[in-house]
Amino acid sequence: MSSPTEGPVEGGRPLLRGRILGFPVHLDISFVIIMGLLGYYPGVTLVEMGLWLLITPLAVLTHELGHAVLARAAGAQPEIALAGFGGVTTYTPPKPLSRARSLGISLAGPGVGLVLGGILYGIREALGDSLVNGSWQERGLFIGIFTCIAWSLFNLLPVLPLDGGQAMRELLPGSPEVRTRLAAMVSIVVAVLAAFVAYRYYGQIFVALFMAFFVVTNFLTLRQYADARSGSRRSAPATPENAVVQLLWQNEPARARQVMESLPPDTSVDLAVHGAVLALTGDPTQGHALLTQELQRRPGDPNVVALLILTLTLEHDWDGLVAVLQGPAGPSVPRQVIDRAVAEARGIGREDVAGRLTLLADSR
């Protein structure tokens, strides 16, 4: 997965780069290698393998274009990458998306794939006996139908970060954090069952390994939420200032501002706290100016850096957040604040951001 500012596959090896329908598209060599392994079976001919390696990227690309078109309609500038086991469309919306719109974007990819697979099936039926069994035309249609429909159905499994898992998260009740935790729990159960069925009854070791990977990633999601929650419980003793910070941590900036404004005039509140509250309640220019001022005045102060990271997290300014982590203040950021950012990113479906933040945190 990727960060929009640094190309679709960080550290990948591009085979092709270009634009389709205005979207930047990256075809990574890892995708071709893995698709080649998946398409191989004893007795496969060069023609069949060539058709597989030609049609599979087109089918996955069509799937991703479904996501990208709806994401662009929401005001984002999506990028598409075909890498590893499949494709991913990354985007940063200009404002938080409604659950309905997020659901639509998640389901658009499988929807387009199923429609295209249905069209190809109709073409094959219409041609009927005129198709010579085993000809490249017949094999090409079969591969096209299989990849479009199978890839779409696979992606509809209720397992994060697949499209079905993201759709499930939007349909669950509760706050973004609660929904993501519930979705991760369901994902682990479904992925374990899918891995067992794929291996035990169909001998699909690649699918079983893929599901095992999803089990691990969702387990890590739950652990990061637990670490973030325990980090918040280990915070400093209750004071008016700490109460404001606690509300910010819980993503309740409006209440945090109410508490701060209700304090007696002689109450001393850290200017960095003031900045975070202002930035998150309608005055980002003044708020970030205060945060920058305090960071310059107290370089390396973990409290100031933590407030800046938390603010950028709640603003979903992932590029700014990464810049801080990679800058001179990065080593001062408490790990539980990064875990909070990872949990927030996963809560809105930004698995690409979550993965990158985790790598940055682990490499410090």
When comparing pLDDT for 94 and 316, which is higher?
316
The pLDDT of residue 120 is above 90: yes
Q: Are 140 and 51 in contact (CB under 8 A)?
A: yes
Six-digit token pair at 246?
Answer: 């606690």
Q: What is the pLDDT of residue 9?
A: 45
Q: Are 190 and 159 in contact (CB under 8 A)?
A: yes
Over range 33-46, report the average pLDDT.
87
Six-digit token pair at 309?
Answer: 């990271």
Q: Which residues pair with 88 in a beta bridge?
A: 81
Q: Are 249 and 340 in contact (CB under 8 A)?
A: yes
The pLDDT of residue 66 is above 90: yes
The pLDDT of residue 2 is above 50: no
Q: Are 83 and 31 in contact (CB under 8 A)?
A: yes
Q: What is the pLDDT of residue 54?
A: 94
Work out the pLDDT band at 352, boundaries 50, 70, 90.
Answer: confident
Per-residue model confidence as pLDDT tens digits over 186-219: 999 999 999 999 889 888 888 898 899 889 888 8
Distance CA 257, CA 255 (A): 5
Per-residue model confidence as pLDDT tens digits over 146-168: 999 998 999 999 998 899 998 99
DSSP 328: T
Six-digit token pair at 196?
Answer: 């067992």
| DSSP per residue, 16-50 | EEEEETTEEEEEEHHHHHHHHHHH--TT--HHHHH
Mean pLDDT of the chain: 84
Q: What is the pLDDT of residue 168?
A: 93
DSSP 69: H
